[in-house]
């Protein structure tokens, strides 16, 4: 009897113990799920901040082109010098004549000194040359300018023979590897080659654009890719991205990188790269079933047109908007002039013996009786495939977030796939946390190969391999060793801190506009607004599409009554930025908001990329700007201004002096 009672007690004790353990496990699980959910929410908010700021910068780039278009429409040159100056500002690399480019890129005249210890190239290139380059770049060595120019010269000759759409085939023992954006991150390319193997007759690669900008080793990536392209022309394929464009390079760092690494011959290298970019193919077809393009498609994408247009002619980021009669008439005049010039070349082509017959010229000669498209239509085709993004909704609409291309829905994808008998699309152009992402019922695959793109730990890089069955196999990686040592919490905290720092800079850059927006809600002029009105006002100014109410705790100190003293909040933002630069707050705000545009403008004016502009160029520039900025400056006034900001009295103006001129003008307003 006693024994049975003891067993019963033990059973109840064990049952209670198990029940407590189960409850504890449920509580731990519930806590962990909430913890992971909060981390995921923080990660998504951080991601949206980075993407919104990145796309806003791309909008600024498009707006800068519109700014120059406006200046061109509203400024009448008063002399031949002014006309020459304007034409030099806007002449593009693809407009340079063949003979002029050959003379300009006179690499044979450059001597390689005996003291040079870097790699040496001889043409035709061999696999050993590629291996030597890889090892040299790992050791932080620099390729001599003679070899860089020679490589660009040979690459350009090869690219000119290629069609607009490359065709790649797989066989039973072979697979094709597709890589996305690299953006100057050489370590990612090294890791891809380490994991997947170097290009070879049995290892084909498609690199899907955006090789340059943002990262610090864009030129090294170009040199490596162009070298493998020349060694294995049937196995290595390069698509053009939206960053393979000179105007974009002026803003996002590649032009500056080249000039810093090659101070003497950087100008020649940039000019050659600019022209090489114009000849990069626009797309790649794998087994006639998988279309690889950098950005995306639209409801008007026409692969037949893309195959036949002269890809070196259009400027994708400078398509004229046909919204007003003035722009339309100017575009018509330009198009007519180009057609006249084209006819002249056509008449003289039989008399020109040194003119090289390229793929593009053969197409234009053999298709004289075929369809004739306007430059505007060709522009739109290239703009769409370089800049567009997929969206989950049906339809096709203007990509207002980036400022170029369009958003295309699953219905648009389906129609293009059906029209051209394709299985799916591979595109890049967007950073993805895992390095890849499917959408549109797995009919659109985004692949992005630059790991840690926004910050260390922000994202993985990836590449995709396709065999004869065309089933995608993904490989993910983190090129930065530090990222492997961070916990998930540490990684998210680090990325989050970087994102909010960038966001605070963005807020500070719009201080004046924010004050006006806040005052609209502060009708009694108390200096205080509700936190809800704060969020609405901030979005109305920055237009980043961010969840400001969710981000508010990271940006605004909590208040007991739910009201914010916005002037003290803006003072705190200014104090944070002023600790980095000792400039008057209002002027610093203007510089923060306009620095990228100003630097791009400076580099456009600085045609020889010397880092200096002459007094005459400065004089003509400010006459041009005054028509848009409503600033009345006489010739004597501009001369006084230029003398006052030439601090070192060397007769030229560098970028810091250029910024000073901007400050002086803003002070005078």
- CB 589, CB 511: distance < 8 Å: yes
Q: Give counts: helices (H), strands (E), the chain.
A: 25, 18
Closest C-alpha among 188, 169, 170 to residue 179: 188
Q: Provide the 8-state DSSP code for 263.
A: T
Q: CA-CA distance, 209 to 212, in Å (whole number)?
A: 9
Q: CA-CA distance, 151 to 229, in Å (whole number)?
A: 11
Q: CA-CA distance, 375 to 623, in Å (whole number)?
A: 31
Q: CA-CA distance, 66 to 543, in Å (whole number)?
A: 19
Q: Round to the nearest angstrom and report the end-to-end CA distance of the chain.
A: 102
Contacts for 456 with CB less than 8 Å, ≥ 6 apart: 480, 482, 483, 486, 491, 494, 495
Residue 181 tokens, joined: 């954006």
The sheet carrying 461-466 orders its strands as 236-238, 203-207, 175-179, 461-466, 472-477
Residue 653 tokens, joined: 């103006």
Residue 226 tokens, joined: 């162009």
Contacts for 406 with CB less than 8 Å, ≥ 6 apart: 296, 298, 384, 387, 388, 396, 397, 398, 399
Q: CA-CA distance, 643 to 649, in Å (whole number)?
A: 8
- CB 201, CB 235: distance < 8 Å: yes
341, burial (CB in 10 Å: exposed 0-12, middle 13-18, buried 19+): exposed
Considering the candidates 65, 237, 243, 609, report the single residue annotated as catalytic. Answer: 243
Q: CA-CA distance, 301 to 299, in Å (whole number)?
A: 6
- Reported as type and span, the H/E element at residue 614 is strand 613-614
- Residue 529 phi, psi (nearest 5): -140, 160
Omega before 234 cis (within 30°)?
no
Task: For residue 404, give Cα distances in angstroms to 48, 282, 386, 451.
Answer: 19, 17, 9, 25
Q: Provide the 8-state DSSP code for 320.
A: P
Q: CA-CA distance, 399 to 55, in Å (whole number)?
A: 10
Closest C-alpha among 214, 234, 245, 238 to residue 224: 238
- CB 202, CB 173: distance < 8 Å: yes
> The dihedral of CA 485, 486, 488, 489: what is its sign?
positive
DSSP reduced 3-state for 368: coil
Look up 183 and say whether it is catalytic. Answer: no
In 10 A of CB 98, how many CB atoms?
13
Residues annotated as catalytic are 243
């Amino acid at each position: 009897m006693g024994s049975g009672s003891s067993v019963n007690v033990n059973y109840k004790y064990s049952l209670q113990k198990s029940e407590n353990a189960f409850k504890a496990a449920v509580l731990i699980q519930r806590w962990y799920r909430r913890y992971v959910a909060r981390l995921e929410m923080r990660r998504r908010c951080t991601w949206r901040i980075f993407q919104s700021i990145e796309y806003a910068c791309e909008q600024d780039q498009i707006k800068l082109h519109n700014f120059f278009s406006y200046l061109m429409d509203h400024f009448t040159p008063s002399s031949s010098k002014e006309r020459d100056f304007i034409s030099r500002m806007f002449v593009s690399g693809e407009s340079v004549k063949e003979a002029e480019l050959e003379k300009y890129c006179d690499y044979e005249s450059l001597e390689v000194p005996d003291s040079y210890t870097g790699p040496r190239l001889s043409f035709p290139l061999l696999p050993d040359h590629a291996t030597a380059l890889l090892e040299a770049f790992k050791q932080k060595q620099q390729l001599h300018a003679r070899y860089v120019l020679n490589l660009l010269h040979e690459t350009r000759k090869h690219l000119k023979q290629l069609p607009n759409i490359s065709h790649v085939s797989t066989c039973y023992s072979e697979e094709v590897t597709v890589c996305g954006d690299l953006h100057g991150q050489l370590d990612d390319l090294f890791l891809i080659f380490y994991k997947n193997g170097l290009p070879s007759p049995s290892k084909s690669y498609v690199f899907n654009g955006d090789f340059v900008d943002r990262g610090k080793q864009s030129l090294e990536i170009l040199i490596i890719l162009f070298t493998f392209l020349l060694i294995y022309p049937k196995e290595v394929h390069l698509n053009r991205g939206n960053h393979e464009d000179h105007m974009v390079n002026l803003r996002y760092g590649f032009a500056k990188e080249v000039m810093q690494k090659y101070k003497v011959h950087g100008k020649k290298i940039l000019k050659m790269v600019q022209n090489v970019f114009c000849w990069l193919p626009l797309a790649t077809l794998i087994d006639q079933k998988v279309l690889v393009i950098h950005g995306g498609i639209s409801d008007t994408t026409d692969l037949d047109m893309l195959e036949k247009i002269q890809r070196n002619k259009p400027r994708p980021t400078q398509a004229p908007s046909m919204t007003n009669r003035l722009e339309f008439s100017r575009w018509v005049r330009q198009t007519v002039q180009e057609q006249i010039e084209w006819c002249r070349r056509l008449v003289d082509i039989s008399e020109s013996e040194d003119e090289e017959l390229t793929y593009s010229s053969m197409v234009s000669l053999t298709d004289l009786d075929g369809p004739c498209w306007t430059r505007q239509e060709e522009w739109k085709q290239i703009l769409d495939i370089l800049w567009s993004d997929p969206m989950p909704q049906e339809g096709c609409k203007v990509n207002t977030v980036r400022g170029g291309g369009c958003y295309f829905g699953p219905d648009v994808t389906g129609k293009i796939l059906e029209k051209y008998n394709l299985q799916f699309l591979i595109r890049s152009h967007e950073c993805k946390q895992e390095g890849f992402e499917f959408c549109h019922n797995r009919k659109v695959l985004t692949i992005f190969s630059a790991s840690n793109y926004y910050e260390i730990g922000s994202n993985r890089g990836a590449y995709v391999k396709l065999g004869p069955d065309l089933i995608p196999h993904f490989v993910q990686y983190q090129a930065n060793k530090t990222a492997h040592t961070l916990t998930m919490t540490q990684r998210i905290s680090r990325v989050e801190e970087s994102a909010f720092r960038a966001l605070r800079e963005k807020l500070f850059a719009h201080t004046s506009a924010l004050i006006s927006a806040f005052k609209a809600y502060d009708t009694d002029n108390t200096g205080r607004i509700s936190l809800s009105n704060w969020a609405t006002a901030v979005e109305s100014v920055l237009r980043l599409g961010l969840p400001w109410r969710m981000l508010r705790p990271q940006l605004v100190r909590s208040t007991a009554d739910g009201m914010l003293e916005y002037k003290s909040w803006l003072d705190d933002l200014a104090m944070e930025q002023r600790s980095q630069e000792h400039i008057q707050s209002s002027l610093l705000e203007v510089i923060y908001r306009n620095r990228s545009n100003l630097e791009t403008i400076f580099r456009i004016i600085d045609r020889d990329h010397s880092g200096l502009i002459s007094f005459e160029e400065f004089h003509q520039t400010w006459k041009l700007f005054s028509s848009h900025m409503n600033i009345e400056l006489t010739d004597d006034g501009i001369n006084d201004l230029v003398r006052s900001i030439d601090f070192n009295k060397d007769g030229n103006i560098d970028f810091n002096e250029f910024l000073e001129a901007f400050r002086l003008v803003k002070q005078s307003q």
